[in-house]
């Protein structure tokens, strides 16, 4: 088995695609229409385009328990997904300048530095720099 696709639940796929590509800098990889209001929509890291794909999947829109689960995690401030960055301070400054809201500013946790931001699609996302 290989890790090829990981999911992030999003409330609005078009809005999520804009945030993950225009703000975070990911690249759209696959976009297949599945029904009137949902697509198989994946993005990949710009620096690692043959790496795992992130599926921006609309479960909170169609499945009430998914919506409840996502909201509960969000309210508790818990990030369910994390991405690695080379330079935390640079990334924090870049994203802050683009209006991204952080619930945890860059914080050292032993051998890593972490920060958590709101992806505007219902999720907290953690970014990590290995020290």
Partner 1 sequence: MTFYQNEILRIKNMCYANTAQIQKVVATRNYIEKHFDKPLNLDSLSHAGFTSKYHLLRLFKRYYGQTPMQFLIDKRIEKSKFYLKKGITISETCYLVGFESPSSFSTLFKKKTGYMPSNFQKKQFSQSRSIGDF
Binding site for partner 1 (CB under 8 A): 2, 50, 75-79, 103-104, 107-111, 114, 116, 124, 130-131
Cα atoms in the 13 Å half-sphere on the side-chain side of 92 = 17
Please say whether the beta carbons of 131 and 113 come within 8 A.
Answer: yes
Q: Count CB-CB contacts under 10 A for residue 15.
A: 14
**Minimum distance between the CB of residue 131 and partner 1, rounded to whole angstroms?**
5
Which residue, 38 or 69, has its beta carbon nearer to partner 1? 69
**Minimum distance between the CB of residue 59 and partner 1, rounded to whole angstroms?**
22
**Minimum distance between the CB of residue 90 and partner 1, rounded to whole angstroms?**
18
Query: The tokens of 19 are what?
Result: 């945030």
């Amino acid at each position: 088995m290989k890790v090829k696709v990981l999911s992030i639940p999003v409330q609005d796929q078009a809005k999520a695609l804009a945030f993950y590509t225009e703000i975070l800098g990911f690249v759209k990889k696959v976009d297949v229409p599945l029904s009137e209001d949902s697509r198989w929509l994946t993005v990949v890291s710009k620096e690692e385009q043959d790496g795992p794909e992130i599926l921006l999947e609309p479960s909170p829109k169609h499945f009430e328990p998914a919506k409840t689960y996502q909201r509960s995690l969000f309210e508790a401030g818990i990030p369910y997904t994390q991405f690695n960055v080379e330079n935390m301070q640079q990334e924090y400054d870049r994203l802050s300048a683009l209006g991204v809201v952080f619930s945890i500013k860059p914080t050292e946790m032993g051998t890593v530095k972490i920060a958590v931001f709101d992806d505007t699609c219902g999720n907290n996302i953690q970014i990590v720099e290995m020290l």
